[in-house]
Amino acid sequence: MAKGKTARESATDGRFELRLIRDGQLETNSSGAADLADFVVTCNVIQSINGAGIQAEINIMDSANLINSLVGDEIWQLIYTTQQGKIAYPLQSYSIENRSRQNSTDLYTVKCCSPEFLANEVSNLFGSSKVVFNKQDKSHDIVERILRGKESGTSKFMKTKKRCFIEEGDNSHEFILCNWRWFDTIYWVAQRSVRKQSGKNKDPQNGFLFFENGLGYNFVSIDKMIADINKQEYDSETDETSGEAKLYQYVYSPKKTGQEAADLYKINTVKYVSDRNILEGLRNGTWAGHSSALDPTVLSNSLISVESENTANTYTYSVEELWGKMEHLGGKSAKHDPYGKFSDQTVGLMKTPRRIRHTFLPNRVADGQDATAAENDNKLYEQLPYLQSYQFARVQTLKTIQLLVTVPGNTDLYAGKGVDIVIPMNKVKGEKPMTDKKYSGRYLIAAVRHKWDGREMYTEMLVYKDTLPTKK
């Protein structure tokens, strides 16, 4: 991202450029012009913590017969320029859809994705992980090798030139790859990875995610993302090398006529996507439940109990117990708990375990042969019910509050990073509105959509917060 600023008359002012690259060459017209932005009705670029690639939709109004020159696999370079800088997305088209004709004008949608996302469809990894990954079996080693592996004479790995931000894992993985794609393998490892333990917290944490944002590829746990968000600063600049992002604060307040440029960090719209659904949470075991592990090959190895009426008392989890082991938005100084201001009666229901969650135990033919390796394998094996519970609770608590926020275009906002939201109450203290403590504070950006509508630039964010204010 370029750090240069661009002057604005309006908060949503911005610049959008669209360039077509074919066979590595920039396409130009007879006069040497390359920008195709005049053809664009709308363009959306989307990045998400649930997506292994960046996606885009370009809606085109074509009266110059551009469609006849398109094959469908072109590289489109989408360049967004906002007050915060400039970012370019080189994306490969994979589909041309919704084509219609009005008089002499063609209307159609070009769908694009990261080139690596397309190449992933024909990738394959087969054989023992010890051989494929050259005896490196830690999660970060495996992910690093898949993304950056550069063995000569093979196309087995991605060999990406993009930045990669990979959190170190603590456990080993030895398994058989059955013709898996790159991203399938990474997701498999993510589901079974445990954070490297440090400091006073010796309890294992999992909940790893793999995704691409505007900074690069990320293999990171939810707890680390939250810890990093708590460290983000307002007066710093985004560091592309380290992946540390600047913290922006957006305020929901009335806009002032004639002061459009001052509205740069004001929220245009906010939608309350989801608040706590108590009935759904009780049914799903969001706050408490049982966790068991089943070995389908040798039933007697299963980590379950047949002596209990619920047949699943191997591990009984509760968010109340796990809460102190998690990182939380706002840091340790924030006053919050898993239940917020619910009544004592409702909290009693939340603390009652009912739902039984099951997981399958892995085949143990590849367990370590020496005493130390075997001990580590047994430890992880026995922790699986707990880890299943922690991962589920970690994801559920992250989504305690969900907002869909639209702001003036900002290319320096990324999925997986933080943003500070300030929403006022309909109450006034003195002459100033009071801040809504429930919906204000630091959020994790779960997804970002940068939108160009032909005239203005907007950024739409789906944001999550895991904390609720306490009764006190």
pLDDT bracket for residue 32 (50, 70, 90): confident
When mean pLDDT is compared over 220-234, 275-289, 335-349, the highest value belongs to 220-234
Query: What pLDDT shows up at residue 120?
Result: 95
pLDDT tens per residue across span 189-203? 998 899 987 655 577
Is residue 353 a contact partner of residue 290, using CB atoms and an 8 Å limit? yes
Name the more confident of 369 and 30: 30
Show the DSSP H helices in 149-303 as ranges.
Answer: 182-191, 222-231, 278-284
Segment 43-48 mean pLDDT: 97
Q: Is the pLDDT of residue 80 over 90?
A: yes
Query: What pLDDT shows up at residue 175?
Result: 86
In the numeric block, which tokens belong to residue 150? 């550069």
When mean pLDDT is compared over 108-117, 200-209, 273-282, the highest value belongs to 108-117
Averaged pLDDT of the chain: 86
Q: How far apart are CA 176 and CA 181, in angstroms?
A: 13
**Going along 321-423, which residue ranges are E strands?**
336-337, 355-360, 401-408, 418-422
Segment 338-367 mean pLDDT: 80
| DSSP type of residue 421 | E
User: What share of the chain in percent tops pLDDT 70?
Assistant: 84
| DSSP type of residue 239 | B
pLDDT bracket for residue 309 (50, 70, 90): very low
pLDDT bracket for residue 5 (50, 70, 90): very low
Segment 250-254 mean pLDDT: 88
User: What share of the chain in percent tops pLDDT 90?
Assistant: 56
Segment 334-361 mean pLDDT: 86
Q: How far apart are CA 455 and CA 472, in angstroms?
A: 48
CA distances from 87 to 14, 31, 115, 234 (A): 12, 26, 17, 20
The single residue listed with the structure tokens 């999925």 is 415
Query: What pLDDT shows up at residue 200?
Result: 54
In the numeric block, which tokens belong to residue 87? 């970012």
Query: What strands lie across the sheet with 216-221, from one edge to the other?
Result: 164-166, 216-221, 208-213
Q: How far apart are CA 317 and CA 272, in angstroms?
A: 29
Name the more confident of 202 and 366: 202
Burial class (CB in 10 A: 0-12, 13-18, 19+), 167: buried
| DSSP type of residue 233 | -
The single residue listed with the structure tokens 């509205």 is 263
- Residue 286: closest CA among 379, 198, 393: 393
Q: How far apart are CA 331 and CA 115, in angstroms?
A: 38
pLDDT bracket for residue 1 (50, 70, 90): very low
Name the more confident of 431 and 135: 135
pLDDT tens per residue across span 224-236? 999 999 999 999 9
Q: What type of residue is 205? A: Q
Query: What pLDDT shows up at residue 357?
Result: 83
Virtual torsion, Cα 251, 432, 401, 276, nearest 10 deg: -150
User: What are the residue ranges spanned by the domains of the chain?
Assistant: 278-398
Is residue 180 a contact partner of residue 154, using CB atoms and an 8 Å limit? no
Query: What pLDDT shows up at residue 299?
Result: 55
